[in-house]
């Protein structure tokens, strides 16, 4: 295999060990919780982190969707991990 050009060798390696393999529910849940904690840190960071917050918020929403969570539950999790004020009855069923 050493006779192959580097880009073909790299492509073959990616087919053997795909970087986007399916994840288990435990891995996705762990990533969801870790991303919520990162969002919390961003919320309490001074400076202009708006773009990072938007990207992290989108990742949380996508992971929540993959886990089958309702949108209102994901939004509640995000609100619980932010510095936004919660109002009584805001997340009633």
pLDDT in tens, 50-72: 888 889 999 999 999 999 999 99
Q: Can you give the pLDDT at residue 3? A: 62
Whether 89 maps to a domain, the answer reads: yes
Residue 86: is its pLDDT beyond 60? Answer: no
- pLDDT of 85 reads 59
Q: Is residue 19 part of a domain?
A: no
- Answer yes or no: is 71 within a domain: yes
Q: How confident is the model at residue 48 (pLDDT cuts 50, 70, 90)?
A: confident
For residues 54 and 60, the answer to whether their CB atoms sit within 8 Å is no
pLDDT of 44 above 90: no
If one counts the domains in the chain, the total is 1
Q: Which residues of 32-57 are buried (b: 16+ CB within 10 A; e: fewer)?
A: beebbebbbebeeeeeeeeeebeebb
Average pLDDT of every residue of the chain: 80
For residue 77, is it within any domain?
yes
Range of 68's domain? 24-93
Q: Is the pLDDT of residue 87 over 60?
A: no
């Amino acid at each position: 295999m050493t006779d192959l050009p580097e880009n073909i060798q790299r492509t073959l390696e990616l087919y053997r060990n795909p970087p986007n393999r399916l994840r288990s529910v435990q891995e996705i849940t762990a990533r969801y919780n870790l991303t919520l904690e990162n969002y919390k840190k961003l919320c309490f960071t001074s400076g202009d982190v708006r773009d990072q917050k938007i990207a992290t918020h989108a990742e949380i929403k996508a992971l929540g969707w993959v886990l089958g969570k309702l949108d209102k539950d994901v939004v509640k999790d995000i609100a619980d991990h932010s510095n936004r004020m919660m109002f009584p009855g805001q997340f009633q069923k």
